[in-house]
Homo-oligomer: A and B are copies of this chain.
């Protein structure tokens, strides 16, 4: 691993992931999929958007690995990819930790 820290290497990837989560419609889809796998038409039910819009969002999410779909008969069923959720959480943990350390150093400095 010469020349690029893991954090650096993962920044772009994480940005993609967060971007996939950073849309209200997609976050709704994530919520609905958190109840279990679902077909596109099912996901479209009750939505104000077109099926095509939903489809596009699903593909964006797939692009960041947040979700994956597979054809079953005449419908395509999608489901969450929990590992990616954990990836996002881990990234936030990392930043939080650095932040804590920084605060620690500051406190130590002030109290000297």
Contacts and interface: CB of A to CB of B under 8 A. Distances in A.
Interface of A: 7, 11-12, 14-24, 26-28, 30-31, 34-36, 80, 82, 85-86, 88-89, 92-93, 95-96, 98-100, 102, 105-106
Q: How many copies does the complex hold?
A: 2
Contacts of A106: 36
A43 to B, nearest CB: 15
Given A85-B95, A89-B93, A92-B88, A21 B31 contact: no
A13 to B, nearest CB: 10
B93 A34 contact: no
A34 B95 contact: yes
A27 to B, nearest CB: 5
